[in-house]
Chain A
Amino acid sequence: MTQPDLAHLAHLSQAMRRDIVEMVHTAGSGHPGGSLSAVEIVATLYGSVMRHDPADPKLADRDRFVLSKGHAAPVLYAALAEAGYFPREELLTLRKLGSRLQGHPDMRKLPGVEVSTGSLGQGLALANGLALALRLDGSATPTVFCLMGDGELQEGSVWEAAMASAHYGLDNLVAIVDLNGLQIDGPTCEVMDLGSVPEKFAAFGWTVMTCDGHSVAELHDALTRAKAHVGGPIVIVARTMKGRGVSFMENLCDWHGKAPNADECARALVELAE
Chain B
Amino acid sequence: MADRATREALGATLIELVAEGRDDIVVLDADLAKATTTVKFAAAFPERFFDFGIAEQNMIATAAGLAAGGKTPFASSFAVFATGRAYDQVRNSVCYPNLGVKIAATHAGVTVGPDGGSHQMLEDIALMRVLPNMQVLVPADFTAACAAVRIAASTPGPVYVRLGRPAVPALYDAGFDFEMGRAYVLREGTDVTLAACGIMVARALQAAETLSAEGISAEVVDVMCLKPLDDGTIVASALKTGAVVTCEEHSIIGGLGAAVATLLSQTAPMPVELVGVDDVFGTSGEAEELMVHFGLTASHIADAARRAVARTI
Contacts and interface: CB of A to CB of B under 8 A. Distances in A.
Contact of B26 (A107, A134, A136, A160): A136
B103 to A, nearest CB: 14
Count class of interface residues, chain A? 20 to 34
Interface stretch (B85-93, B146-154, B212-220): B85-93
Nearest to A116: B97
A126 interface: yes
A239 B92 CA distance: 29
A133 B69 contact: yes
B89 A132 contact: no
A137 B70 contact: yes
A127 interface: yes
Interface string A201-243: 0000000000000000000000000000000000000000000
B63 A129 contact: yes
Interface residues of B, number: 29
B101 to A, nearest CB: 9
Given A119-B92, A122-B92, A134-B69, A129 B61 contact: yes
Contacts of B68: 107, 114-115, 126, 129-130, 133
Interface string A98-119: 0000000011100000111011
A132 B71 CA distance: 10
Nearest to A106: B97
A128 interface: yes
Contacts, number: 99
Contacts of A118: 92
A163 interface: yes
Nearest to A127: B65
B62 A107 contact: no
Contact of B97 (A107, A125, A160, A161): A107
Interface string B52-66: 110101100111111
Interface of A: 106-108, 114-116, 118-119, 122, 125-134, 136-137, 156-157, 160-161, 163-164, 168
30 contacts: A107-B68, A114-B68, A115-B68, A118-B92, A119-B92, A122-B57, A122-B61, A122-B93, A125-B57, A125-B62, A126-B93, A127-B65, A128-B62, A128-B65, A129-B69, A130-B65, A130-B66, A132-B66, A133-B66, A133-B68, A133-B69, A133-B71, A136-B71, A157-B58, A157-B61, A161-B58, A161-B61, A163-B53, A164-B58, A168-B50
